[in-house]
């Protein structure tokens, strides 16, 4: 059976929160248990469609690398690299752009959503799917892990690859979506109960700890009911957080006590303390690993450089194949 190649990109959009962890990072790390090759790129080219602060972008790229390595990404089993270290990506983007119709790009959800939010419609934003297609096709990717909202990107990549192959022969491998299983995705609310987002200011940083974590958890919205008043745990925002970190048996005990109420029933302060303990324990090993990496930035650079070398070897072969097919060089 042929070895499968997995490919996923990671946006360097600032400090990662619990929504990022349970929605994507955890699934990416778990892919290492699957047979095959794994390429994870930090999408700094893509970030330029919205980022206008160079230092913040550089910091965000490094933060993504440190975060993934801290949480268990193993450079011996996965290739981690910066998108901008692979210059063949931009060459492939041009080749794909030359066979891609305007209509396909105009239908892109990401373009329509961002312009609807008032983001300036630059050429980079409009051609974003072409660059993403180059990212996917450059490594002969078989499977691209995505959520339902990202399926269109892979479908557009399939269309571009098919258009190029129809003109020049079988150059690009057709990638397929690896849809994340619904049961593996835990929806993480924000501190206010809405979707967790940095832009909403309702997020919890993965590596928050100590007094800062206590202060952040303290902002989770509750009501004014007394501890002894019986409550439905399913209606309490705090339990949506506790479900992420407590063992089922421990979670069941908390729910039972809250539902029963009466003397000795836990108040919201007790629930928040249990959440803090759960988070501290869950990320303890990763937090220590992060401190080690921050103390040795040269090691992070070496990992990214080695990853870029491995990724470029694959991208060069694909680029050369495409160049030859369409008459270049």
Tell me which residues are annotated as active site.
Answer: 114, 195, 198
Question: How far is 57 from 50, CA to CA, in rounded Å?
Answer: 10
Q: How is residue 223 written in tokens?
A: 């009501």
For 24, 207, 287, the CA distances from 186, given in Å and listed in that order, are 10, 18, 22
Question: How far is 166 from 183, CA to CA, in rounded Å?
Answer: 38
For 32, 96, 127, 172, 224, the CA distances from 165, given in Å and listed in that order, are 31, 10, 20, 7, 63
- What is the C-alpha R_g of the chain? 22
Task: Tell me the Ramachandran region of residue 94: left when phi exceeds 0, alpha when psi lies from -120 to 50, beta otherwise.
Answer: alpha
φ and ψ at 178, to 5 degrees? -110, 90
5-10 and 79-82 strand pairing: unpaired
Q: For residue 206, give the H/E element and its range.
A: none
Question: Which stretches does DSSP call E strand in the chain?
Answer: 5-10, 37-42, 79-82, 143-146, 176-179
Dihedral angle computed from the Cα positions of residues 116, 121, 123 and 127, in that order, rounded to the nearest 10 degrees: -10
* Contact between residue 200 and residue 194 where contact means Cβ atoms under 8 Å apart: yes
């Amino acid at each position: 059976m042929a070895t499968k190649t997995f490919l996923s990109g990671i946006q360097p959009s600032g400090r990662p929160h619990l929504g990022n962890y349970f929605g994507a990072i955890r699934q990416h790390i778990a892919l290492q248990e699957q047979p095959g090759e794994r390429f994870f790129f930090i999408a700094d080219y893509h970030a330029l469609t919205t980022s206008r602060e160079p230092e913040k972008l550089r910091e965000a790229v490094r933060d993504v690398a440190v975060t993934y390595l801290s949480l268990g990404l193993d450079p011996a089993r996965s290739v981690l690299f910066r998108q901008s270290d692979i210059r063949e990506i931009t060459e492939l983007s041009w080749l794909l752009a030359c066979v891609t119709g305007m209509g396909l790009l105009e239908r892109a959800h990401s373009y329509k959503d961002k312009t609807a939010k008032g983001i300036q419609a630059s050429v980079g934003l409009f051609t974003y799917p072409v660059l993403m297609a180059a990212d996917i096709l450059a490594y002969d990717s078989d499977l691209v892990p995505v959520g339902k909202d990202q399926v269109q990107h892979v479908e557009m990549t399939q269309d571009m690859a098919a258009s190029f192959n129809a003109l020049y022969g079988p150059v690009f491998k057709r990638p397929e979506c690896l849809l994340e299983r619904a049961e593996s995705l835990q929806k993480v609310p924000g501190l206010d109960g809405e979707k967790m987002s940095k832009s909403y200011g309702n997020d919890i940083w993965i590596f928050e700890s100590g007094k800062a974590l206590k202060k952040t958890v303290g902002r989770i919205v509750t009501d004014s009911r007394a501890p002894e008043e019986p409550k439905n745990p399913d209606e309490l925002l705090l339990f949506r957080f506790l479900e992420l970190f407590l063992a089922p048996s421990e979670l069941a005990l908390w729910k039972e006590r809250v539902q029963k109420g009466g003397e000795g029933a836990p108040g919201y302060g007790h629930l928040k303390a249990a959440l803090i303990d759960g988070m501290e324990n869950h990320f303890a090993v990763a937090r220590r690993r992060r401190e080690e990496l921050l103390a040795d930035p040269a090691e992070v650079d070496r990992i990214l450089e080695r990853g870029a070398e491995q990724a470029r070897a694959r991208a060069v072969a694909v680029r050369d194949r495409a160049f030859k097919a369409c008459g270049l060089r």
